[in-house]
Structure 1
Amino acid sequence: MATCGNILNELLQTGEVLETELEESNGGRPARRYKYNADYSYIICLNVKTEGGIHSLTYAVANLLGDIIIENTSNVPHIDYEVIETQIGELINNYGNVKAIGIGIPGVVHQGIIDVCDLDLLIGVPVGPRLQDKYGLEVTIENDMHLTVYGFYNMQNYDEDKTFAIVTFPKDNFPGAGFIVDGHLLKGNTKFAGEVSFLPFDLTREEQLKQLNSTEGFVPLAIKTITSIIAIIDPVSIALTGELSKPTLLDDIYNGCLKDVPKEHMPEIFVKNDTHDEYMRGLISVTLESLTYNLQLVEKRK
């Protein structure tokens, strides 16, 4: 009791916990009641995106329960480190007590450094370390598909751990994917998992991009991509997103996969054109998790 009381008093003094009205008395001294102050501090989440030649930044400021306080999207001529830093600096100045920053990018991130990316001006840039040095905050930078599949999976509220995949086919850019395997986000050794444009299609990257953006070329490449995913992780469902993913093509894609995959192993395949909410939910979740102890209970397999 004494230890808990001391901790509670410290949290009250800092404002992280608030005292509310007294509990109704049942004959004795009424109990004190407290609640967590979700607005004690905030996190900043930034979604960096390019599709169809349009560059955009979507930011969200969320409280410690993950509730979005404000969200806004703006189109910009280009996206480089300075654009990102300026946007984050403005938000830090406008919202006091920011504790963490989360950034989603269309590319591969390893130790805070951008590797393969749809935004050429970010390739090779140590965005994470530079932002940490400047603001002294916890900075998480993650692949956009990892974030989307993480948010999508968590919003399904499955009763048991599942294996799930999401694949995006954006216009004028290479496809990407995100995987949940037995309830856990799959990133890989160097965070390269999901870079499905590097599958052995026997095409140059220029030829692949040209073929993806034609109707007759898109379906065969989509079939090869999805067949590979089914054979490797055996998901219960695969969601297709991006401008090139159209419901009218689903039957052709599904039947094409059946040429190599036995029907009993075929997952549900569906189109989810708008994944903004799932993306932001994943980004907010991983940013909040960066503030917690990195401990995880894992069930021992028999």
Structure 2
Amino acid sequence: MKANTAFIKQLNIETLRKALRNAGQATKSELADLTGLTVVTINALITELVVSKEVIENGNVPSGGGRPSMQYRYNYDYQCAAIVYGYQKNNKNCINTIVVNLAGEVLWKNDEYIETVEIKSFETVLDEVFKQYSNIKVIIFGLPGEVIDEVVTINDYSNIIGPDFIPHYKNKYKVPVLAENDINAMTYGYYRTHNSEYSDSVVGMYFPRNHSPGAGLIIDGSIYYGKQHFSGEIAAMPMPKPWEEMNYFDENEVIKNLEQLLTVYCCTIAPSMFILYGDFFTDTIEERLKLYTEKLLSNKFIVNIEVSDYLERDYEYGLKCLALDTLWEEN
């Protein structure tokens, strides 16, 4: 009986939390209308949330002729996430670090270049972050590689490959530590921005030039990893020109590889959109690639391609969405 009561109470708290989070601020009476809970139940639960500082008393507001009512405001700074992500910029390892609150607002940001990424390379910036924000509840890394069961199995930062990277930061900062592949995060960020347009599948591809390319796949709103997280390892596919020998500023070379690559995805996934990231793309490549790929497919499939200049925006937004999903699940 006690377990059942505790379970119901937790469900009610989650219902109340979600309603106030979405409304931003509300009185007890308004929360009762939004949740279907009684004012008596709201009164008991809201007191707990105020004590924990998840909810803030926002002062009295008029109540239509009666006594003024206390308005409650959700405290989006109650918990935060630290996000660290790396990508190639000007052929260098650019590392961005941000702190976001429960509303997804960026509270702190730092950009730096790191010549050689080691396991401890992110300690200095994270020490500063944890010094300023004591309410960080999760660290999320965006990395050019894969992490399976806390083991870095593949990574362009070769010095962090192995079982030590994730446990090192978990032990040092005493919070959950997650990692997401860079192109998965970019593709997810693009999808979450455009999900009203592309409800089934989106393929993202990232060509950093001085490292192997990779692909991300979103199916029905979720990142698809495949067995051993091998989905998207397009560098392993046989191509007319090996990627490490590619002259990315030779349009003909680029298109020969990409038309075959996109054709395979069209025949197996038939995505709503291809989103391509790379500093060598031109409008001409985009137009020719669409034309040539559709020709290879005997014009039986319409290929939608978008070359994006918003790698950092999509990357950061994808990681923010993953961070917020994690924080709200743990709340």
TM-score by length of 2: 0.81
Shift of 1:47: 0.8
Residues 79-104 of structure 1, C-alpha deviations (whole Å, 9 max, x = no match): 11110233222211122211111110
Shift of 1:51: 5.2
Task: Give the Cα separation in 2 of the matches to 1:228 and 1:287.
Answer: 32
**Aligned residue number for residue 222 of structure 1:** 258
**Aligned residue number for residue 16 of structure 1:** 54
Contact 2:88/2:208, CA 8 A, preserved across alignment: no
SS at match of 1:278: helix
Match of 2:315 among 262, 275, 279: 279
1:249 aligns with 2:278: no
Distance 1:188 1:220, change over 3 A: same
Residues 49-86 of structure 1, C-alpha deviations (whole Å, 9 max, x = no match): 23564112101111111111122211122111110233
**Aligned residue number for residue 104 of structure 1:** 142
Gaps of 5+ in 2: 1-37
Q: Which has the larger radius of gyration?
A: 2
Q: Relative to structure 2, which stretch is displaced further, 137-146 or 72-81?
A: 72-81
Match of 2:112 among 70, 74, 85: 74
Aligned 1:78-89 pairs, distance under 5 A: 78-89=116-127
SS at match of 1:172: coil
Amino acid at match of 1:210: E
Task: Give the Cα separation in 2 of the matches to 1:260 and 1:160.
Answer: 24
Task: Give the Cα separation in 2 of the matches to 1:13 and 1:269.
Answer: 51
Distance 1:232 1:50, change over 3 A: same
Contact 1:167/1:175, CA 8 A, preserved across alignment: yes
Percent identity over the alignment?
25
**Aligned residue number for residue 183 of structure 1:** 221
Shift of 1:3: 4.0
Task: Give the Cα separation in 2 of the matches to 1:228 and 1:47.
Answer: 30
**Aligned residue number for residue 300 of structure 1:** none
Match of 2:245 among 207, 210, 221: 210
**Aligned residue number for residue 130 of structure 2:** 92
Shift of 1:270: 1.9
**Aligned residue number for residue 271 of structure 2:** 235
Contact 2:272/2:304, CA 8 A, preserved across alignment: yes
Q: Relative to structure 2, which stretch is displaced further, 276-285 or 125-134?
A: 125-134
Contact 2:290/2:304, CA 8 A, preserved across alignment: no
Task: Give the Cα separation in 1 of the matches to 2:198 and 2:71.
Answer: 34
Aligned 1:191-202 pairs, distance under 5 A: 191-201=229-239
**Aligned residue number for residue 146 of structure 1:** 184
Task: Give the Cα separation in 2 of the matches to 1:120 and 1:92.
Answer: 27
Cα-Cα RMSD: 2.1
**Aligned residue number for residue 297 of structure 1:** none
Contact 1:22/1:32, CA 8 A, preserved across alignment: yes
How many residue pairs match? The answer is: 291
Gaps of 5+ in 1: 295-302
SS at match of 1:57: strand
Match of 1:261 among 283, 293, 297: 297
Contact 2:53/2:75, CA 8 A, preserved across alignment: yes
Distance 1:213 1:202, change over 3 A: closer
Determine which structure has the larger helix proportion and give its number.
2
Residues 137-194 of structure 1, C-alpha deviations (whole Å, 9 max, x = no match): 0211000111111111111140672311111111211111111112222122322221
Amino acid at match of 1:213: Y
